[in-house]
Structure 1
Amino acid sequence: MKVSPSALLPILRSGTVGELLARFYLDPDRRYTLTELAKELDVSLPTIAREVDRMRESGLLTEERVGRARVVWANRRSVLYEPLSLLVALTYGPRPVLEQLLSDVAGVDSGLIYGSWAARYQGEPGAEPNDVDVLVIGAPDPDQLFDIADEARRRLRREVSIRSVKPSVWTDADPRDPFLKHVKSRPMVELDLKGDAV
Protein backbone atom coordinates (compact mmCIF):
# COMPACT_ATOMS: atom_id res chain seq x y z
CA MET A 1 0.00 0.00 0.00
CA LYS A 2 1.44 3.36 -1.04
CA VAL A 3 1.25 6.07 1.62
CA SER A 4 0.68 9.63 0.46
CA PRO A 5 2.51 12.56 2.04
CA SER A 6 0.60 14.79 4.42
CA ALA A 7 -1.35 17.58 2.68
CA LEU A 8 -1.13 19.66 5.87
CA LEU A 9 2.66 19.39 6.05
CA PRO A 10 4.01 17.85 2.84
CA ILE A 11 7.48 17.31 4.28
CA LEU A 12 5.97 14.49 6.37
CA ARG A 13 5.78 11.04 4.89
CA SER A 14 2.16 10.60 6.06
CA GLY A 15 -0.65 12.01 8.12
CA THR A 16 0.05 9.34 10.73
CA VAL A 17 3.45 10.93 11.40
CA GLY A 18 1.75 14.31 11.90
CA GLU A 19 -0.85 12.80 14.24
CA LEU A 20 1.87 11.09 16.29
CA LEU A 21 3.89 14.29 16.56
CA ALA A 22 0.77 16.16 17.66
CA ARG A 23 0.13 13.62 20.41
CA PHE A 24 3.70 13.86 21.67
CA TYR A 25 4.56 17.52 21.18
CA LEU A 26 1.27 19.21 22.13
CA ASP A 27 1.15 17.36 25.46
CA PRO A 28 4.83 16.60 26.13
CA ASP A 29 4.30 15.28 29.66
CA ARG A 30 1.86 12.58 28.58
CA ARG A 31 3.27 9.10 28.15
CA TYR A 32 1.78 6.58 25.73
CA THR A 33 2.05 2.88 25.16
CA LEU A 34 2.20 1.82 21.53
CA THR A 35 -1.15 0.07 21.96
CA GLU A 36 -2.78 3.31 23.18
CA LEU A 37 -1.40 5.18 20.17
CA ALA A 38 -2.59 2.54 17.72
CA LYS A 39 -6.08 2.65 19.24
CA GLU A 40 -6.32 6.47 19.40
CA LEU A 41 -5.14 6.91 15.81
CA ASP A 42 -6.87 3.80 14.43
CA VAL A 43 -3.61 2.64 12.87
CA SER A 44 -2.06 -0.83 13.03
CA LEU A 45 0.36 -1.58 15.85
CA PRO A 46 3.22 -2.49 13.46
CA THR A 47 2.84 0.88 11.68
CA ILE A 48 2.89 2.75 15.01
CA ALA A 49 5.94 0.75 16.15
CA ARG A 50 7.86 1.59 12.94
CA GLU A 51 7.11 5.33 13.18
CA VAL A 52 7.89 5.46 16.91
CA ASP A 53 11.19 3.62 16.28
CA ARG A 54 12.17 6.22 13.67
CA MET A 55 11.31 9.09 16.01
CA ARG A 56 13.10 7.50 18.98
CA GLU A 57 16.23 6.73 16.95
CA SER A 58 16.37 10.35 15.74
CA GLY A 59 16.11 11.66 19.31
CA LEU A 60 12.58 13.08 19.08
CA LEU A 61 11.16 10.64 21.65
CA THR A 62 12.19 9.11 24.95
CA GLU A 63 11.25 5.52 25.75
CA GLU A 64 11.19 3.18 28.70
CA ARG A 65 9.96 -0.36 29.24
CA VAL A 66 7.23 -0.93 31.78
CA GLY A 67 6.81 -4.68 32.00
CA ARG A 68 6.37 -5.78 28.40
CA ALA A 69 5.00 -2.42 27.26
CA ARG A 70 7.01 0.27 25.53
CA VAL A 71 6.14 3.70 26.93
CA VAL A 72 7.13 6.75 24.86
CA TRP A 73 6.93 10.55 25.21
CA ALA A 74 8.41 13.73 23.71
CA ASN A 75 12.10 14.38 24.28
CA ARG A 76 12.12 17.94 25.63
CA ARG A 77 15.94 18.00 25.59
CA SER A 78 16.08 17.71 21.80
CA VAL A 79 17.16 20.92 20.06
CA LEU A 80 14.21 20.31 17.75
CA TYR A 81 11.67 20.29 20.58
CA GLU A 82 10.58 23.95 20.46
CA PRO A 83 10.54 24.46 16.68
CA LEU A 84 8.84 21.11 16.13
CA SER A 85 6.22 21.92 18.78
CA LEU A 86 5.38 25.14 16.94
CA LEU A 87 5.27 23.43 13.55
CA VAL A 88 3.00 20.68 14.88
CA ALA A 89 0.67 23.22 16.54
CA LEU A 90 0.34 25.11 13.27
CA THR A 91 -0.40 22.03 11.19
CA TYR A 92 -1.79 19.11 13.20
CA GLY A 93 -2.73 21.07 16.33
CA PRO A 94 -6.35 22.02 15.61
CA ARG A 95 -7.88 18.62 16.19
CA PRO A 96 -6.28 17.75 19.58
CA VAL A 97 -6.41 21.34 20.87
CA LEU A 98 -10.09 21.76 20.01
CA GLU A 99 -10.93 18.34 21.41
CA GLN A 100 -9.34 19.35 24.70
CA LEU A 101 -11.01 22.77 24.83
CA LEU A 102 -14.49 21.58 23.84
CA SER A 103 -14.62 18.34 25.83
CA ASP A 104 -17.08 18.49 28.67
CA VAL A 105 -18.43 21.95 27.72
CA ALA A 106 -22.05 22.11 28.82
CA GLY A 107 -24.46 22.09 25.89
CA VAL A 108 -22.02 20.67 23.32
CA ASP A 109 -23.30 17.43 21.79
CA SER A 110 -20.63 17.08 19.11
CA GLY A 111 -18.28 19.12 16.98
CA LEU A 112 -16.38 19.10 13.73
CA ILE A 113 -13.78 21.04 11.80
CA TYR A 114 -14.70 22.01 8.25
CA GLY A 115 -13.19 24.27 5.59
CA SER A 116 -9.65 24.32 4.23
CA TRP A 117 -7.99 22.77 7.29
CA ALA A 118 -10.34 19.78 7.17
CA ALA A 119 -9.76 19.44 3.43
CA ARG A 120 -5.96 19.34 3.87
CA TYR A 121 -6.30 16.94 6.81
CA GLN A 122 -8.35 14.63 4.56
CA GLY A 123 -5.60 14.78 1.92
CA GLU A 124 -7.06 17.34 -0.49
CA PRO A 125 -4.18 19.33 -2.01
CA GLY A 126 -4.18 23.09 -1.78
CA ALA A 127 -2.70 26.13 -0.13
CA GLU A 128 -1.92 26.32 3.56
CA PRO A 129 -5.11 26.97 5.55
CA ASN A 130 -5.40 30.53 6.86
CA ASP A 131 -7.84 29.67 9.63
CA VAL A 132 -9.69 26.86 11.34
CA ASP A 133 -13.48 26.65 11.01
CA VAL A 134 -15.35 24.78 13.74
CA LEU A 135 -19.00 23.81 13.95
CA VAL A 136 -20.44 22.85 17.31
CA ILE A 137 -23.71 20.95 17.40
CA GLY A 138 -25.65 21.75 20.55
CA ALA A 139 -26.68 24.76 22.59
CA PRO A 140 -23.57 25.93 24.47
CA ASP A 141 -23.07 29.35 26.03
CA PRO A 142 -21.96 31.68 23.16
CA ASP A 143 -19.62 33.57 25.50
CA GLN A 144 -17.88 30.34 26.42
CA LEU A 145 -17.45 29.46 22.74
CA PHE A 146 -15.95 32.91 22.15
CA ASP A 147 -13.45 32.31 24.96
CA ILE A 148 -12.60 28.86 23.61
CA ALA A 149 -12.02 30.28 20.12
CA ASP A 150 -9.74 32.91 21.64
CA GLU A 151 -7.72 30.29 23.56
CA ALA A 152 -7.49 28.06 20.47
CA ARG A 153 -6.33 31.08 18.44
CA ARG A 154 -3.58 31.70 20.99
CA ARG A 155 -2.40 28.08 21.01
CA LEU A 156 -2.65 27.48 17.27
CA ARG A 157 -1.39 30.91 16.18
CA ARG A 158 -4.10 31.26 13.57
CA GLU A 159 -7.68 32.47 13.43
CA VAL A 160 -10.28 30.08 14.81
CA SER A 161 -13.98 30.65 14.26
CA ILE A 162 -16.60 28.61 16.06
CA ARG A 163 -20.25 28.52 15.01
CA SER A 164 -22.97 26.54 16.68
CA VAL A 165 -26.21 25.02 15.46
CA LYS A 166 -28.91 23.20 17.37
CA PRO A 167 -28.95 19.42 16.86
CA SER A 168 -32.32 19.53 15.09
CA VAL A 169 -31.02 22.13 12.62
CA TRP A 170 -27.95 19.98 11.87
CA THR A 171 -29.88 16.71 11.58
CA ASP A 172 -32.81 18.07 9.59
CA ALA A 173 -30.94 20.79 7.73
CA ASP A 174 -32.97 22.77 5.26
CA PRO A 175 -31.48 21.80 1.88
CA ARG A 176 -31.75 25.46 0.88
CA ASP A 177 -29.52 26.61 3.77
CA PRO A 178 -26.35 27.51 1.85
CA PHE A 179 -24.06 27.32 4.88
CA LEU A 180 -25.05 23.84 6.05
CA LYS A 181 -25.30 22.57 2.48
CA HIS A 182 -21.72 23.72 1.88
CA VAL A 183 -20.39 22.25 5.15
CA LYS A 184 -22.03 18.86 4.51
CA SER A 185 -20.75 18.72 0.92
CA ARG A 186 -17.07 19.25 1.82
CA PRO A 187 -14.52 17.35 3.94
CA MET A 188 -15.16 17.39 7.68
CA VAL A 189 -13.12 16.14 10.62
CA GLU A 190 -15.19 14.98 13.57
CA LEU A 191 -13.91 15.90 17.01
CA ASP A 192 -13.76 13.25 19.72
CA LEU A 193 -15.19 15.23 22.60
CA LYS A 194 -15.53 12.33 25.02
CA GLY A 195 -12.06 10.77 24.74
CA ASP A 196 -8.72 11.66 26.29
CA ALA A 197 -7.72 14.70 24.26
CA VAL A 198 -4.42 16.53 24.45
Structure 2
Amino acid sequence: MIESVSRSAPALVPLFRSDQQLRLLGVLFTDTGDELTIGELAERSNVAQPTASREVARLTEHGLTITRTIGRNKFVRPNWSLPWAPELRSILMQTVGVLGRLGEALSSMKGVDSAFVFGSWAARYGGEPGPCPSDVDVVVVGEAALRSVRKACRDLEQDLRVEINPIVIDRASWDSNAPEPLIAQIREQPLVPISIEVESGT
Protein backbone atom coordinates (compact mmCIF):
# COMPACT_ATOMS: atom_id res chain seq x y z
CA MET A 1 0.00 0.00 0.00
CA ILE A 2 1.33 3.42 -0.91
CA GLU A 3 1.62 5.61 2.12
CA SER A 4 -0.20 8.92 2.10
CA VAL A 5 0.69 10.10 5.61
CA SER A 6 3.78 12.25 5.82
CA ARG A 7 6.64 10.63 7.73
CA SER A 8 9.40 12.42 9.59
CA ALA A 9 12.82 13.04 8.14
CA PRO A 10 14.48 9.70 7.33
CA ALA A 11 17.33 8.51 9.53
CA LEU A 12 19.28 7.60 6.39
CA VAL A 13 19.57 11.25 5.33
CA PRO A 14 18.00 13.38 8.10
CA LEU A 15 18.68 16.70 6.34
CA PHE A 16 15.60 16.15 4.13
CA ARG A 17 12.18 17.32 5.29
CA SER A 18 10.44 13.95 5.06
CA ASP A 19 10.83 10.41 3.85
CA GLN A 20 8.52 11.15 0.91
CA GLN A 21 10.56 14.18 -0.14
CA LEU A 22 13.73 12.10 -0.07
CA ARG A 23 12.19 9.41 -2.26
CA LEU A 24 10.83 11.93 -4.77
CA LEU A 25 14.17 13.68 -5.07
CA GLY A 26 15.87 10.31 -5.36
CA VAL A 27 13.79 9.42 -8.41
CA LEU A 28 14.19 12.85 -10.03
CA PHE A 29 17.92 13.25 -9.54
CA THR A 30 19.20 9.67 -9.76
CA ASP A 31 17.03 7.98 -12.39
CA THR A 32 17.24 8.91 -16.07
CA GLY A 33 16.64 12.59 -15.33
CA ASP A 34 13.68 12.60 -17.69
CA GLU A 35 10.67 14.84 -17.24
CA LEU A 36 7.89 12.93 -15.47
CA THR A 37 4.23 13.50 -14.80
CA ILE A 38 3.27 13.73 -11.14
CA GLY A 39 1.57 10.34 -11.48
CA GLU A 40 4.69 8.71 -12.91
CA LEU A 41 6.86 10.27 -10.23
CA ALA A 42 4.47 9.14 -7.49
CA GLU A 43 4.47 5.57 -8.81
CA ARG A 44 8.24 5.33 -9.17
CA SER A 45 8.86 6.75 -5.71
CA ASN A 46 6.05 4.79 -4.01
CA VAL A 47 4.46 7.99 -2.72
CA ALA A 48 0.73 8.72 -2.87
CA GLN A 49 -0.07 11.11 -5.72
CA PRO A 50 -1.65 13.86 -3.55
CA THR A 51 1.44 13.81 -1.33
CA ALA A 52 3.70 13.89 -4.39
CA SER A 53 1.81 16.92 -5.72
CA ARG A 54 2.23 18.80 -2.44
CA GLU A 55 5.91 17.94 -2.15
CA VAL A 56 6.63 18.89 -5.76
CA ALA A 57 4.94 22.25 -5.18
CA ARG A 58 7.25 22.86 -2.21
CA LEU A 59 10.33 21.72 -4.15
CA THR A 60 9.44 23.96 -7.08
CA GLU A 61 8.83 26.91 -4.79
CA HIS A 62 12.37 26.51 -3.46
CA GLY A 63 13.89 25.99 -6.89
CA LEU A 64 14.86 22.32 -6.67
CA THR A 65 12.47 21.24 -9.41
CA ILE A 66 10.92 22.79 -12.50
CA THR A 67 7.31 22.12 -13.47
CA ARG A 68 5.13 22.86 -16.46
CA THR A 69 1.53 22.03 -17.27
CA ILE A 70 0.25 20.61 -20.55
CA GLY A 71 -3.49 20.13 -20.61
CA ARG A 72 -4.45 18.29 -17.44
CA ASN A 73 -0.96 16.92 -16.81
CA LYS A 74 1.74 18.56 -14.74
CA PHE A 75 5.31 17.60 -15.60
CA VAL A 76 8.27 17.88 -13.26
CA ARG A 77 12.02 17.64 -13.78
CA PRO A 78 15.09 18.29 -11.65
CA ASN A 79 16.65 21.73 -11.77
CA TRP A 80 20.15 20.93 -13.01
CA SER A 81 21.05 24.63 -13.16
CA LEU A 82 21.45 24.73 -9.39
CA PRO A 83 25.16 25.17 -8.59
CA TRP A 84 24.97 22.35 -6.05
CA ALA A 85 22.85 19.96 -8.14
CA PRO A 86 25.80 17.56 -8.71
CA GLU A 87 26.41 17.37 -4.97
CA LEU A 88 22.71 16.74 -4.31
CA ARG A 89 22.71 13.98 -6.90
CA SER A 90 25.78 12.46 -5.25
CA ILE A 91 24.06 12.40 -1.84
CA LEU A 92 20.95 10.83 -3.34
CA MET A 93 22.92 8.32 -5.38
CA GLN A 94 24.69 7.16 -2.24
CA THR A 95 21.44 6.84 -0.30
CA VAL A 96 18.11 6.17 -2.01
CA GLY A 97 19.79 5.96 -5.41
CA VAL A 98 21.58 2.81 -4.31
CA LEU A 99 18.37 0.81 -4.69
CA GLY A 100 17.75 1.94 -8.24
CA ARG A 101 21.28 1.28 -9.40
CA LEU A 102 21.35 -2.15 -7.77
CA GLY A 103 18.04 -2.97 -9.42
CA GLU A 104 19.39 -2.03 -12.83
CA ALA A 105 22.53 -4.11 -12.36
CA LEU A 106 20.76 -7.20 -11.04
CA SER A 107 17.91 -7.08 -13.56
CA SER A 108 20.37 -7.82 -16.37
CA MET A 109 21.67 -10.90 -14.59
CA LYS A 110 20.37 -14.46 -14.98
CA GLY A 111 19.24 -16.41 -11.94
CA VAL A 112 18.12 -13.48 -9.78
CA ASP A 113 14.66 -14.17 -8.31
CA SER A 114 14.66 -11.32 -5.81
CA ALA A 115 17.10 -9.17 -3.88
CA PHE A 116 17.15 -7.12 -0.70
CA VAL A 117 19.36 -4.66 1.14
CA PHE A 118 19.81 -5.58 4.79
CA GLY A 119 21.99 -4.53 7.70
CA SER A 120 22.66 -0.98 8.87
CA TRP A 121 21.79 0.65 5.52
CA ALA A 122 18.35 -0.99 5.54
CA ALA A 123 17.87 0.01 9.18
CA ARG A 124 18.66 3.68 8.43
CA TYR A 125 16.41 3.57 5.36
CA GLY A 126 13.60 2.22 7.53
CA GLY A 127 13.96 5.09 9.98
CA GLU A 128 16.11 3.61 12.74
CA PRO A 129 18.50 6.25 14.09
CA GLY A 130 22.21 5.58 14.05
CA PRO A 131 25.48 6.42 12.34
CA CYS A 132 25.62 6.75 8.57
CA PRO A 133 26.31 3.31 7.05
CA SER A 134 29.77 2.82 5.57
CA ASP A 135 28.67 -0.03 3.33
CA VAL A 136 25.62 -1.74 1.83
CA ASP A 137 24.79 -5.40 2.51
CA VAL A 138 22.88 -7.13 -0.29
CA VAL A 139 21.27 -10.57 -0.37
CA VAL A 140 20.39 -12.02 -3.77
CA VAL A 141 17.89 -14.88 -3.79
CA GLY A 142 18.16 -17.31 -6.70
CA GLU A 143 20.74 -19.23 -8.68
CA ALA A 144 22.88 -16.31 -9.84
CA ALA A 145 26.63 -16.88 -9.76
CA LEU A 146 28.19 -15.09 -6.81
CA ARG A 147 31.15 -14.11 -8.97
CA SER A 148 28.84 -12.31 -11.40
CA VAL A 149 26.97 -10.57 -8.61
CA ARG A 150 30.23 -9.40 -7.05
CA LYS A 151 31.44 -8.04 -10.38
CA ALA A 152 28.21 -6.10 -10.89
CA CYS A 153 28.54 -4.63 -7.41
CA ARG A 154 32.20 -3.70 -7.95
CA ASP A 155 31.22 -1.82 -11.08
CA LEU A 156 28.76 0.22 -8.99
CA GLU A 157 31.02 0.87 -6.02
CA GLN A 158 33.21 3.44 -7.76
CA ASP A 159 30.24 5.42 -9.07
CA LEU A 160 28.26 5.25 -5.82
CA ARG A 161 31.36 5.61 -3.65
CA VAL A 162 30.12 3.02 -1.19
CA GLU A 163 31.25 -0.54 -0.47
CA ILE A 164 28.71 -3.21 -1.47
CA ASN A 165 28.77 -6.64 0.17
CA PRO A 166 26.63 -9.18 -1.72
CA ILE A 167 25.73 -12.75 -0.85
CA VAL A 168 23.67 -15.24 -2.86
CA ILE A 169 21.18 -17.65 -1.29
CA ASP A 170 19.22 -20.23 -3.26
CA ARG A 171 15.43 -19.99 -3.21
CA ALA A 172 14.84 -23.24 -1.27
CA SER A 173 17.18 -22.20 1.53
CA TRP A 174 15.71 -18.69 1.69
CA ASP A 175 12.12 -19.98 1.87
CA SER A 176 12.88 -22.79 4.34
CA ASN A 177 10.80 -22.95 7.51
CA ALA A 178 13.96 -24.00 9.34
CA PRO A 179 16.63 -21.79 7.75
CA GLU A 180 20.31 -21.84 8.54
CA PRO A 181 21.36 -19.41 11.30
CA LEU A 182 22.79 -16.84 8.88
CA ILE A 183 19.64 -16.82 6.76
CA ALA A 184 17.41 -16.64 9.83
CA GLN A 185 19.44 -13.69 11.12
CA ILE A 186 19.11 -11.84 7.81
CA ARG A 187 15.37 -12.49 7.58
CA GLU A 188 14.84 -11.13 11.09
CA GLN A 189 16.50 -7.82 10.18
CA PRO A 190 14.93 -4.93 8.28
CA LEU A 191 14.89 -5.80 4.57
CA VAL A 192 14.53 -3.26 1.78
CA PRO A 193 13.39 -4.86 -1.51
CA ILE A 194 15.40 -4.10 -4.63
CA SER A 195 13.14 -3.77 -7.66
CA ILE A 196 14.13 -6.49 -10.15
CA GLU A 197 12.75 -6.64 -13.66
CA VAL A 198 12.69 -10.29 -14.74
CA GLU A 199 12.30 -10.90 -18.46
CA SER A 200 9.48 -13.25 -19.42
CA GLY A 201 10.63 -16.68 -20.43
CA THR A 202 13.81 -16.50 -18.38
Instruction: Please indicate, yes or no, whether the TM-score normalized by the shorter chain is above 0.5.
Output: yes
- Equivalenced residues, count: 194
Superposition map of 1:7-156 within 5 A: 7-156=11-160
Find the aligned partners of 2:103 and 2:171 in 1 and give their Cα distance: 19
Give the Å deviation of 1:28.
Answer: 5.0
Please tell me the residue identity of whatever aligns with 1:190. Answer: P
Q: Paired residue for 2:187?
A: 184
Deviation >4 Å, runs of 4+: none
| Contact 2:31–2:100, Cα closer than 8 Å, also in 1 | no
Find the aligned partners of 2:177 and 2:112 in 1 and give their Cα distance: 18
Q: Paired residue for 2:170?
A: 166
Q: After superposing the two structures, state which structure 1 stretch, 100-109 or 130-139, moved more.
A: 100-109
2:168 partner SS:
strand
After superposition, give the CA deviation of every residue in 1:69-119 in whole Å (9 maximum; x if it has no partner). Answer: 111111111112111011112222211111111113211011000000000
| Contact 1:62–1:72, Cα closer than 8 Å, also in 2 | yes
1:36 partner SS:
helix
Q: 1:28 to 1:79 in 2, by over 3 A?
A: farther
Give the Å deviation of 1:148.
Answer: 1.0
| Contact 2:9–2:19, Cα closer than 8 Å, also in 1 | yes
Please tell me the residue identity of whatever aligns with 1:152. Answer: L
Find the aligned partners of 1:145 and 1:157 in 2 and give their Cα distance: 17
Q: 1:108 to 1:28 in 2, by over 3 A?
A: closer
Please tell me the residue identity of whatever aligns with 2:107. Answer: S
After superposition, give the CA deviation of every residue in 1:41-63 in whole Å (9 maximum; x if it has no partner). Answer: 33221210111111112221122
Find the aligned partners of 1:184 and 1:101 in 2 and give their Cα distance: 23
Find the aligned partners of 2:193 and 2:31 in 1 and give their Cα distance: 20
1:76 partner SS:
coil
| Contact 2:28–2:78, Cα closer than 8 Å, also in 1 | yes
Q: After superposing the two structures, state which structure 1 stretch, 81-90 or 61-70, moved more.
A: 61-70
Please tell me the residue identity of whatever aligns with 1:168. Answer: A
Q: After superposing the two structures, state which structure 1 stretch, 40-49 or 161-170, moved more.
A: 40-49
1:110 partner SS:
strand
Please tell me the residue identity of whatever aligns with 2:75. Answer: V
Give the Å deviation of 1:173.
Answer: 5.6
Q: CA RMSD, aligned part only?
A: 1.7
Listed as ranges, the gaps of 5+ residues in structure 1 are none
* TM-score (structure 1 length as normaliser): 0.91
| Contact 2:118–2:186, Cα closer than 8 Å, also in 1 | yes
Find the aligned partners of 1:118 and 1:125 in 2 and give their Cα distance: 11
Listed as ranges, the gaps of 5+ residues in structure 2 are none
